[in-house]
Homo-oligomer: A and B are copies of this chain.
Amino acid sequence: MKVGIIGGTKGLGKTLAILLKKEGYDVTITGRDTSVGLTVSEKLGVSYSNDNKKTANVNDIVIVSVPIATTSAVIKEIANSMKKGSLLLDVTSVKEGPSNLMNELLDDDVEFIPTHPVFGPRTTNLNGQVIVLTPIKKGKWYPKVIDFLKKHKMRIIEASPSEHDKMMSIVQILTHFSYISTASAIKKLGISIKDTRKFASPIYGLMVDMISRIVSQNPILTYSIQLENENGENVRETFTESVLELKDVLTNQDEEKFVKIAIEATKNLDDIQAALGRSDKAIESLNHEISSLKNAVGKEIALKHIYSEEVHIGILTDLDPEFVTLNTKKGEKNLKIANIKILDEENLKEWKLINKEIKTQSISCVFPNSCNEAIIAQAISKLDEITDVKITDIYHGPQVANDKISITFEIDAFDVSAFENVETFLKGFGGIIR
């Protein structure tokens, strides 16, 4: 299956190229800059073309992954070049414009599925991520795409293009606009956000983190989303009205009106108790992590970088509000607390199973005839660093006393020191190591 990704040299297009290549698709990416295109395509092991029309013409599936502002132009450019029976997808954050354009320009024998994958370019795992599909009509490709998304455990939302854009006018337009206004006001007021954090509850800290997330996004993308969504102007206008109204209410010291606005706004929000519960739990998990780190000072701990997924194991020697210092086998490491998480025993074991060499040793031990080898094997498997225990031999015979048997266990462990522990353990129950 041949897939062409228009704009596959960066961002989401590139992420899709990596993913589809891994799935066995024959992938071609396009991009305006030939030298960038050749470098990226070589690195990903995919083909490169600087000709969008030709790419549209030779592929079974074409995905348009270009900035919002140029999406319409690209659709217009390639619409007539798409081959019969092929599929065109876009991945733009607005859906009315692209959906209508594809519907208008494409031949009946070319299928199109407008999509909006609702996640940022930092996402590496599709599992649980939301994708909105706004099909105007469905053909033979539609169930195949659904199967693909389900296989990756994505949350699929189907909606009309206008419904999508209406929802995004809150999800994106309003939140981006109000958060950037807030951050811009803080800047104008000349107050240091870092200082304010000291004076406030952890909830405020997380609130500022959320504002930082939005405000620090690619401003050109944010700008395009504001402009391309047809509801944008109305949403900004309505928000401005609300701001001016609330400001006047306070200037006029109209307590009654203020209370009325707040209560009506609250009623329109969904389940407040659930919102309090979820945000309390989110804060609690961050606080819990800090206490766990405090308790781990002087002890061995395993920390995983949340983006690189690299695991660092060592003695936690120091902790300040921003960093932990870890004394690892490779030397001292300073790690930013915000970017690491503590691996619990289960996760650490999983990581070790993938990353550490497993050592194997056989241990034979003599026990009374009445023993139960399965119970012993299970007890061994619960000792530290042990990954697997098999019973490979049970011996009755001249080499052991009449009322005894010798059991041989094949034991897998992360470290050879574990085998000594096993012997001590078995001897502790009166077993005799052979």
Q: Which residues of A contact B (CB under 8 A)?
A: 118-119, 122, 128-130, 132, 157, 159, 164, 166-171, 174-175, 177-178, 180-189, 191-201, 203-216, 219-220, 222-223, 226-227, 232-247, 250-251, 253, 255, 258-259, 261-287, 289, 306, 322, 336-339, 341, 367-372, 374-376, 379, 382, 424-425, 427-432
| Given A188-B241, A192-B270, 4 further pairs, Cβ under 8 A | A181-B243, A185-B238, A370-B432, A430-B431
Q: Residues of B contacting A175 with CB < 8 Å?
A: 182, 204, 207
If A201-B118, A336-B273, A372-B427 touch, does A278 touch B209 (CB 8 Å cutoff)?
A: yes
- What are 29 contact pairs spanning A and B, CB under 8 A? A128-B287, A129-B201, A130-B200, A164-B199, A167-B195, A167-B196, A170-B186, A170-B193, A174-B186, A178-B243, A180-B261, A181-B246, A184-B264, A186-B269, A187-B268, A206-B282, A209-B282, A212-B276, A227-B250, A232-B250, A274-B322, A274-B337, A274-B338, A282-B286, A284-B306, A285-B285, A367-B430, A371-B429, A372-B427
* Closest partner residue, chain B, to A197 (CB atom): B270
Instruction: Let me know if A193 and B270 touch, CB within 8 A.
Output: yes
Bound together, the chains give a CA A270 to CA B374 distance in angstroms of 58
Instruction: Let me know if A182 and B189 touch, CB within 8 A.
Output: no
Instruction: Let me know if A265 and B210 touch, CB within 8 A.
Output: no
Partner of A177, one of B210, B246, B306, B431: B246
Partner of A210, one of B181, B207, B376: B207
Q: Residues of B contacting A227 with CB < 8 Å?
A: 250, 253
Bound together, the chains give a CA A274 to CA B227 distance in angstroms of 30
Partner of A130, one of B194, B201, B210: B201
Bound together, the chains give a CA A266 to CA B216 distance in angstroms of 6
Instruction: Let me know if A239 and B171 touch, CB within 8 A.
Output: no
Q: Residues of B contacting A195 with CB < 8 Å?
A: 167
* Closest partner residue, chain B, to A282 (CB atom): B282
Bound together, the chains give a CA A193 to CA B174 distance in angstroms of 12
Instruction: Let me know if B425 and A375 touch, CB within 8 A.
Output: yes
Instruction: Let me know if B208 and A269 touch, CB within 8 A.
Output: yes
* Closest partner residue, chain B, to A425 (CB atom): B375
Instruction: Let me know if B210 and A210 touch, CB within 8 A.
Output: yes
Partner of A199, one of B129, B130, B243: B130
Instruction: Let me know if A206 and B210 touch, CB within 8 A.
Output: yes
Pick from A207, A243, A284, A374 the residue with the most CB of B within 10 Å: A243
Q: Residues of B contacting A367 with CB < 8 Å?
A: 429-430
Instruction: Let me know if A196 and B183 touch, CB within 8 A.
Output: no
Q: What are the nearest 4 A-B pairs in CB distance?
A: A375-B428, A368-B430, A277-B338, A212-B275
Shortest C-beta distance, A21 to chain B (Å), equals 25
Partner of A239, one of B132, B204, B243, B370: B243
Shortest C-beta distance, A46 to chain B (Å), equals 28
Partner of A170, one of B119, B168, B189, B432: B189
Shortest C-beta distance, A324 to chain B (Å), equals 13
